[in-house]
Amino acid sequence: MGDVDVREEAALTAELTARLRSGSGRRALSVTELLLPRPAYWRRTSAPVPAPLARQARMNLGRAWHRAFEAVLAAEGPTEVRVRRDGVSARIDHLAGIPLEIKTGATPVGADLARERPEWVAQLALYCALVGGSEGRCAYLRLSAGGRPAVSAFEVRFRSYERLRALLGDSEARLRTALEGRDPTPLPRCAWFGRGCEFQTAGVCACRGSEPAETLEFGSEIETVTEAPELGARWTGALAPAPPAAERWARFRELLYPRRTYFEQRDEGPEPPGEAPGFGPPDLYDRLLEALEGGPPGEVASLPPQGTGPEEEVVGWRDHPYLLKVSRAWDRYAPAEIASRFPQYELELGFRCARAGRSNGLVIVGYERAERDDDRLQVLSFAFRERDRWGERWNERAEALDRALQDAAPLGLPACPRWMADSCPYAAVCGCAERETRSQR
């Protein structure tokens, strides 16, 4: 299209390559998995189990207010901050010096947070262990049918960062051992047993409810927990009376591949069964993620949305939207050719840049076939000359997809990249492989 300049970023390539070489060699476990190790075990070792519909509806409302509150907090520091250390990953809701965790719910929560919600305090403890501190905050958004939630703010101070690090290591080792040995026996009793755990309801888990109670003691590490009513009132007042309305198309892939979305939307058959994710050594994508997210906390965070686009967040590295790709190419990409050889990269990054209000983005590529880690990684920067045009293109695609669905006429929509047809369940009815060349737009 000629409206993008691509060049290789040699210094960034060298920096991330050094991080890749010194990676942990471990597949990361998330803080939320460490806190609920039994559901995490079954999630990693069995086919996906959907959450009950009633809980999904509650979660959707909670998510909408969660996003609205993050928009308020974004002025004071990065949101949805990705951190990865020593085989543990976390996505911290807000990090303005200290980590902040946002919770939503319908029931009241009193001032004694450690007694009423010990799992929230444990989560903050693990965040502190990851970012190197001993203080955190929790914001509780109490949802009501009448509109804007009331926000309660809590400040938590822990005694010893070193003890928190030890607890993090113990909880990581416990779950990793269970997963690697395919044996959940040493894991503590599930907090959700008998309370609507989806794995129990689906008959997937082997839990009995008589397992030993949790032994990792986070409560004893608390120095103080204080409710901060002024802060809660300020946050409550900053919220709009209603969360932003949901966008018609929620994810980038829906309009990146509109023809595929068309068939998915009209497909009334049962969902094909998913596969267990498994738990083996880290693949190249995991290693790239570790290199990217293993830097100083705050480098990888959500970029506040602007203009039109999907609800899906745009994540930035050092304030630049990025794509992380694994390639089986034998040779590194030539910057001058990448936009024409892989137009999907330009399209996806263009949409993300427009959504984040940026003109520059990065494509970070890992090469599976490279013989040495020294040659495995490449960072390319894309500079878009007409950023606003990508927002317009998003709207054009959204309208075309809506029209196609209304008229039951998919063939005017751009075909997906040719390689997708090989594993696409709609290939026979769509016929893209016969009709289309590599059309991307």
> Rounded CA gap, 263 and 437, in Å?
19
- Smallest separation, CB 377 to ligand SF4 (Å): 29
Please report whether residue 401 would count as binding ligand SF4 according to CB under 6 A: no
Contacts 24+ apart (CB under 8 A), 325-328: 325/363, 325/364, 325/365, 325/366, 326/283, 326/284, 326/285, 326/288, 326/365, 326/366, 326/368, 327/365, 327/366, 327/367, 327/368, 328/368, 328/369
Please report whether residue 430 would count as binding ligand SF4 according to CB under 6 A: yes
Size of the site for ligand SF4 (CB under 6 A): 13
* Closest to ligand SF4 by CB, 59 or 429: 429
- Smallest separation, CB 422 to ligand SF4 (Å): 8
| Chain residues 256-315 in contact with ligand SF4, contact rule CB under 6 A | 257, 259-260, 263
Within 13 Å and on the Cβ side, how many CA atoms surround 308? 16
Name the segment binding ligand SF4 (CB under 6 A); options: 87-95, 212-220, 269-277, 427-435.
427-435
Nearest to 379 by CA among 23, 4, 12: 12
Structure tokens at 438: 């590599």
Please report whether residue 400 would count as binding ligand SF4 according to CB under 6 A: no
Please report whether residue 420 would count as binding ligand SF4 according to CB under 6 A: yes
Name the segment binding ligand SF4 (CB under 6 A); options: 160-168, 204-212, 350-358, 423-431.
423-431
Report DSSP state, residue 223: E
Among 35, 121, 122, 424, binds ligand SF4 (CB under 6 A): 424
* Closest to ligand SF4 by CB, 210 or 423: 423
Structure tokens at 216: 């990792």
Please report whether residue 421 would count as binding ligand SF4 according to CB under 6 A: yes
* Closest to ligand SF4 by CB, 66 or 438: 438
Q: What DSSP element (H or E) covers 316?
A: strand 314-317
Contact (CB, 8 A) for 394 and 351: yes
- Smallest separation, CB 100 to ligand SF4 (Å): 41
List residues near ligand SF4 by CB under 6 A: 257, 259-260, 263, 415-416, 420-421, 424, 426-427, 430, 432
